Every structure is written in C-alpha cells, then in structure tokens.
C-alpha cells in the first residue's frame, strides 16, 4: 500500500465524539517515549503529522488521521505516562479503556514496544488486558536500528518466552525503525490486507 494522503481529522478525549464514519480504524499505542509519533510519521511519509516530542507523554488525546480517504489511523495516549499527575493518569486510563470497549470500527491495535529493553511489566499487563477483552493486536518493536540483528533476535525470543507462558501463540509482530524505515512496507501491507479482507466480507 502506498499512502497518498494523510489528513488530521480530530483530537478529543470523549469516545462518543470520535468520527461517526464506518471506516476501519487501526490504533497505535505504547508507553511514553516508545517512538510512536516517529513511527506514524514514517508510515505516512509526513514529517510532522503526529507531533514528536522530547517530553514523554505528549499525546494526551485520541487523535484520528484519515489515510487514503478510506481508513483511520488512531494515535492513542501512552499507558506508561511520564510527567503527568495521578488524576491525569486515571483520565487517560478511562478513555483508553472506553475507546477499546466501545469503538466498533477498530480492526486491530498495534502495541509499540522499544526493542532495546527487556519485557516490561506494564507492556505485558496491557497485552494481557487486550487479550482478556478479545481485542486483536500486533506487537510493533520500535528502534530496531539501535541493535545488531542478533540482539534483535534475542529480545524477540525473550518476549516469546514470557508471552508463551500465558498465550497459546506468540502474537503477530513487526520489527521497525523510524530512522531507516525498517518494517514500513510489512506494516502497511498488513493493514492493506485487513482492509481488503473486510471489503470481501
């Protein structure tokens, strides 16, 4: 899939106010500073479609972008918020939970994980929550350019080992890097495939 157009649609914290169209949605979520905005900009070939920031926890709203006029990319707030108050955390948590619970247009979520770190409890807990709530997701390992191929392999294996303790199969996953576009085609082809399958249904 080639992305020919990417437009900002809206930001809000109320799931009821999300776009009313029936277009398929793909939600991107991860801990603060995982490289989510950079990944979205890399996928869409736009330098600042999603706002990147040196300050973690910048995305604090549900952001909808219309891609190729036929699907929505949704940028969700991180769940390992850095410099925000406990009250703000509760608010985020509430509308993230509501988004996943109420948004029928959602096709799948992409959970971003920094491949340089060992599996983090907060990521594993969030994946567990998605699984328990029947929400399809793929893992997107980010910042792969920072590691050598063998180290990437080892980190993915570490995730597999932990996840297979409670999952029957390793969730679908992608290895990506925003700086050298690793994984871009794979991710976009996967979204394209899901869109096409829905069109057939």
pTM flag (> 0.85) = yes
Q: CA separation (Å) from 185 to 106, 135, 148, 177, 182?
A: 21, 24, 21, 12, 8
Digit-by-digit pLDDT tens for the chain (201 residues) are: 999 999 999 998 889 999 999 999 999 999 888 999 999 999 999 888 887 545 445 557 899 999 999 999 999 987 765 555 666 666 667 788 899 999 999 999 999 999 999 999 889 989 999 999 999 999 999 999 999 999 999 999 999 999 999 999 999 999 999 999 999 999 999 999 999 998 776
**Axis crossing angle, helix 149-163 with helix 121-132, rounded to the nearest 10:** 50
145 CA to centre of own chain = 19
> Domains, the chain, ranges and CATH?
6-200 (3.40.50.300)
- Give the whole-angstrom CA distance, residue 120 versus residue 112: 12
């Amino acid at each position: 899939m080639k992305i020919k157009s990417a437009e900002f649609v809206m930001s809000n914290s109320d799931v009821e106010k999300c776009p009313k169209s029936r277009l398929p949605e793909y939600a991107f979520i991860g801990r603060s500073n995982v490289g989510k905005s950079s990944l979205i900009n890399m996928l869409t070939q736009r330098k600042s479609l999603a706002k990147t920031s040196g300050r973690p926890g910048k995305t604090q709203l549900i952001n909808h972008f219309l891609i190729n006029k036929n699907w929505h990319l949704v940028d969700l707030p991180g769940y390992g918020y850095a410099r925000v108050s406990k009250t703000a955390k509760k608010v985020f948590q509430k509308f993230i939970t509501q988004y996943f619970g109420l948004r029928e247009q959602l096709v799948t979520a992409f959970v971003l994980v920094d491949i340089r770190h060992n599996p983090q409890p907060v990521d594993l807990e969030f994946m567990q929550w998605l699984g328990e709530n029947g929400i399809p997701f793929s893992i997107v390992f980010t910042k792969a350019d920072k590691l050598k191929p063998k180290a990437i392999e080892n980190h993915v294996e570490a995730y597999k080992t932990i996840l297979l303790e409670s999952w029957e199969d390793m969730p679908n996953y992608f290895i990506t890097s925003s700086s050298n576009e690793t994984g871009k085609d794979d991710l976009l082809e996967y979204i394209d495939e899901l869109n096409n399958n829905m069109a057939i249904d």
